[in-house]
Amino acid sequence: SQKIEQNSEALNIQEGKTATLTCNYTNYSPAYLQWYRQDPGRGPVFLLLIRENEKEKRKERLKVTFDTTLKQSLFHITASQPADSATYLCALREYGNKLVFGAGTILRVKS
């Protein structure tokens, strides 16, 4: 069966450290993968997109990697801040299909 797996346990890190979140998938051949941020009581907000032929994408303190052999994407936040605390969702899309979301990982950055 097709699955998108994100760590269900919250990730707790200290301010200033790098947070790394994982998105693994099974039985998908994604054309691209997206990462969203969701704050409590709000809708998800798009952060970054990476295509199947790209290895890495950066935006300010954010970095996404995509390994189609390992079927995994890693999402990094460098120099993390308490304001980065949120739930982070990965989503992938196969050609001709709809975007499919993972359940998300809660990130807590402590000062």
Partner 1 sequence: DADVTQTPRNRITKTGKRIMLECSQTKGHDRMYWYRQDPGLGLRLIYYSFDVKDINKGEISDGYSVSRQAQAKFSLSLESAIPNQTALYFCATSDEPGSTDTQYFGPGTRLTVL
By CB under 8 A, name the binding residues for partner 1. 4, 8, 32, 34, 36, 41-46, 49, 89, 91, 93, 98-104
Residue with token string 């097709």: 2
Backbone angles phi, psi at 29, to 5 degrees: -125, 80
CB 88 → partner 1: shortest distance, Å? 12
Of 48 and 74, the one with the shorter C-beta distance to partner 1 is 48
> Which residues are within 8 A (CB) of 41 and not within 5 positions of it... i.e. 6 or more apart?
none
CB 17 → partner 1: shortest distance, Å? 26
Backbone angles phi, psi at 84, to 5 degrees: -80, -10
CB 77 → partner 1: shortest distance, Å? 20
Of 91 and 109, the one with the shorter C-beta distance to partner 1 is 91
Q: Cα–Cα distance between 89 and 9 in angstroms, integer?
A: 13
Rg from Cα positions in the chain: 13
Of 3 and 17, the one with the shorter C-beta distance to partner 1 is 3
Of 49 and 78, the one with the shorter C-beta distance to partner 1 is 49
